[in-house]
Amino acid sequence: MKTLHIFGVTGSIGQSAADIVLAHPDRFSVHTVTAHKNVMKLAEAAKQLKAQYAVIADEALYDDLKAALSGSGIACASGAAAVTEAARVPADISLMAIVGIAGLKPLWAALEHSKAVAIANKEPLVAAGPMVMARAAEFGTAILPVDSEHNAIFQVFDQNNKAAVERIILTASGGPFREWSLDQMADATPEQALRHPTWSMGAKISIDSATMMNKALEIIEAHYLFDMPPSMIEVMVHPQSLVHGMVEYADGSFLCQMGASDMRTPIISALSWPERIATPGRKLDLETLTILSFERPDFERFPALRLAYDCLNKGLAACIALNAGNEVMVDEFLSGRCGFLDIAGKTSRIIDGSNYDTPQTLDDVIAIDQDVRARIKCAIVETDSPKVSKNS
């Protein structure tokens, strides 16, 4: 029996994890579940999973959560600090499934107090990869990648023959705009960008898939997780989303992991590692496969990809700026306040205009993240104001 905390239980990854726990009640015992604002869904998950503790990140929702859990015997708390505090309770595994940099402090705490962290939440790895890896090593905490590409590579990376690894390949579906021109993308709406062809996911990562910023974040994530130089990390567009990641070796072998495009496979693989147990999710039906295709991504139409390599060359502060700028711009796009191409465009400009010393500590990372967010919001207001005054 493994004890488990699920951070972000109400999200797409969190709900898939809940499904797995319900399918294996003899394997997993859930201690804590957390969410941002959805009290009813959090309370329901806490009861279903027989958790002992539920935390809602929005401070103001404490009374609602308490009421929703009344009579259940499940303790509760609210506020961002309480989410982080919950990660200080020892567990076998903490599943990090919060979206965005909001997951950084809980991850930081879990790295000290959990035996293993299963990481879906890629943004903290992008912004603080070196610190996260060092902290895992310091406390002997296993890092189990959940992001499907990284989970695939984790499964086929021969740690005993690292010198024979020639490259790692992250596959990409290409997103909903794989075949769109830049002109078409200029007018893309949030509804169009949210319609992912092969995966069903939360809003932020769906937009990231449409810009291919998701793959950019994953290049950086792979760099830290597998300690590979950027030149040995490649992306191949694979629209069928069945081969999730590959490692090419010097002897000509390509080891890859395949599976249905269902996140329950990488999640259960991480949660049951080093064992393998039955997924409640979909399985690949080989007989329905007619084609597996791979093509190089188009860096002109998807400039976010180039940003990943540029930022890795520039250093950690640039990676923080990439992540923070993108998070702000995705919100702007989803709220209808900017165009689709502005997401990578304005993020790129904020990186170019950044000049920070290399962060050494978690506080340095948080300070740069905050500063970039403030600067990009300022830049948005400045570029928007002439339009406002002209119309008024």
Stretch that binds ligand NAD, among 30-38, 86-94, 286-294, 343-351 (CB under 6 A): 30-38
**Residue with Cβ nearer ligand NAD (64 or 147):** 147
x/- contact string, 161-200, with ligand NAD (CB under 6 A)? --------------------------------------x-
Provide, rounded to whole angstroms, the least separation between the CB of residue 271 and ligand NAD.
14
Asked whether position 239 contacts ligand NAD by CB under 6 A, the answer is no
Maximal CA-CA distance, the chain: 67
Geometric angle at alpha carbon 28, from 92 and 85, rounded to 5°: 45
Cβ-Cβ contacts under 8 Å for 101 (sequence gap 6 or more): 123, 124, 127, 323, 324, 327, 369
**Residue with Cβ nearer Mg ion (214 or 354):** 214
Provide, rounded to whole angstroms, the least separation between the CB of residue 146 and ligand NAD.
7
**Residue with Cβ nearer Mg ion (78 or 148):** 148
Stretch that binds ligand NAD, among 35-43, 276-284, 314-322, 352-360 (CB under 6 A): 35-43
Asked whether position 262 contacts Mg ion by CB under 5 A, the answer is no
Among 3, 4, 11, 213, binds ligand NAD (CB under 6 A): 11
Cα atoms in the 13 Å half-sphere on the side-chain side of 337? 14
Helix (H) / strand (E) containing 132: helix 123-139
Q: What are phi and psi of 35, to 5 degrees?
A: -155, 175
Q: If DSSP codes are grouped into helix, strand and coil, which group holds residue 3?
A: strand
- In angstroms, the Cα distances linking 79 to 35, 162, 244 are 10, 43, 36
Asked whether position 64 contacts ligand NAD by CB under 6 A, the answer is no
Sign of the Cα torsion 208, 209, 210, 212 reads positive
Asked whether position 83 contacts ligand NAD by CB under 6 A, the answer is yes
CA 327, CA 329: separation in Å to the nearest integer?
Answer: 6
Cis check for the bond before 176: say yes or no (omega within 30 of 0).
Answer: no
**Residue with Cβ nearer ligand NAD (126 or 317):** 126
Size of the site for ligand NAD (CB under 6 A): 28
For Mg ion, the binding residues in 121-150 under the rule CB under 5 A are 147-149
Stretch that binds ligand NAD, among 4-12, 60-68, 190-198, 251-259 (CB under 6 A): 4-12
Asked whether position 221 contacts Mg ion by CB under 5 A, the answer is no
- Residue 267: count of CB within 10 angstroms of its CB: 26
